[in-house]
Chain A
Amino acid sequence: MLRFSLDARRGSFHLDVECTFASDWTVIFGPSGAGKSTLLRLLAGLDRPQRGRIALDNRTLTDMTARHYDAPGRRNISLVSQQPALFPHLTAAANVAYGLHGIDRAARAHRVEEMLELVNAKELAVRKPRDLSGGQAQRIALARALAPAPRLLLLDEPFSALDGAASDALLNRLQSWLGDNRVQAVMATHDVSDALATNAEVLFLHEGRQAALGPAREVLAEERNRLATRIQAT
């Protein structure tokens, strides 16, 4: 279970949200500039809020009042962004193995193979990032993020370079794997179909504030009605 109460300012933008994500798969939905990526970066520990607290399974990760802040690599959280950010000097397999530092070679190789198979990219193992397409690079980035078996997986529009069918297939495989391995996931998207596809719990963000939180169909229907009312009023 992920709980957070965050107050963060970035220039003129102000994010102010307080939420509890109890379900295994939560979607943060909202238009560009709503604060989705900012929220994911705060949860991952890449940025610090001005005020607030983040706790994962009753473990405090950030508590600005107590001046407590766990570094990103100590949170047991992985983040996959729109930009795959693969290490350019390493092969795809070495990229996936990067977060497996400290475990023996055989176990590491086995884990890398398992992750590459999950994202359907075994044949890409020896390729360098410059030899991968955008979609292939995103799949390797996903495998790299999953390899250390995080407790929480954050996805920031991670399948933008994949076509619809490939994206849906990967999403199904991913959800099944996450369920089997008890990994909670939070995905940010501005695409309604992504939000509806999983029938997940949805946090609807608008200008840095929580506009709604609940089952996907309810939240999105509410938003559709709100927009329709606004259009009629103009």
Chain B
Amino acid sequence: MRFSLHAIPKDYLASALMVLIGVGATVKGTSYNLGSLQRMGPGYFPVALGVLLSLIGIAIGVVEWLRRKPVEAGSAQKAAAHPPEWRGWICILGSTIAFIVLGHHAGFIAATLALVFISALGDRDNSLKDAFLLSIAMVVICVVVFSWALKMTFHLFPWG
């Protein structure tokens, strides 16, 4: 998320994110029974945590603001150490989603194949062939180790 937001110092984003989570937790938490300090309801502890997290979030932001002020003029934003890696990210996330979907509908062989194949493609050094061979190897491991040796319960095929 910081990739399109490079101009904003990292710690402001960090601060905002913590406040967001904290406030979210607090708001949701108040919908549960709060109770009193003596007899706490299910909502008491989460709300306390939510408030605490928001305060910490604000503190992170304030600290960053105090720190930056004296050097405002010449503050060169540290360049991101790495360029965004969309291909790798999409492949890793996509492969996991594929695993879930295929695991539901098409059995574990297809799911494993997809998972390893797609995530291997996330690395630019892997060719289609490499990725395919690796995924075949993993399917073999999946069948031999997990299904046959460890007797894990899952369907290898949609009809299994």
- Report whether chain A binds chain B: no
